[in-house]
Amino acid sequence: NALARIKSYHDYGTFTPLQVAAIAALEGDQQCVKDIAEQYRQRRNVLVKGLHELGWMVENPKASMYVWAKIPEQYAAMGSLEFAKKLLLEAKVCVSPG
């Protein structure tokens, strides 16, 4: 097959079964990808709706499952890392600082 013929010339030891699996995944039925994307879209929408209900105005991302939000003004001085720690300890909500 084509992969076997060019493998020795164009890679640096990538595990062949992994490459074969990647080809199958990319060429196969993509419905599972659509299903997963829809699930993440729904989860993101629930998060955005909840944040809006709390008065935290965030944008609803058009092409991502991630919600980017500014630190509320009353917590801005502590910085994103300390705010993330506070959310985790006090509200049991995990966010990525930055």
How many Å apart are CA 48 and CA 61, to the nearest integer? 9
Tens digits of residue pLDDT in 42-71: 999 999 999 999 999 899 998 888 899 999
What percentage of the chain carries pLDDT values higher than 70?
A: 92
Architecture label for domain 31-91: Alpha-Beta Complex (3.90)
Q: Is the pLDDT of residue 14 over 90?
A: no
Are 95 and 87 spatial neighbours (Cβ–Cβ below 8 Å)?
yes
Q: Which residue has the higher pLDDT, 98 or 83?
A: 83
CB 40 within 8 A of CB 64: no
Assigned token pair, 29: 């039925």
Taking the domains of the chain in order of start, what are their residue ranges? 31-91
- 3-class DSSP state of 16: helix
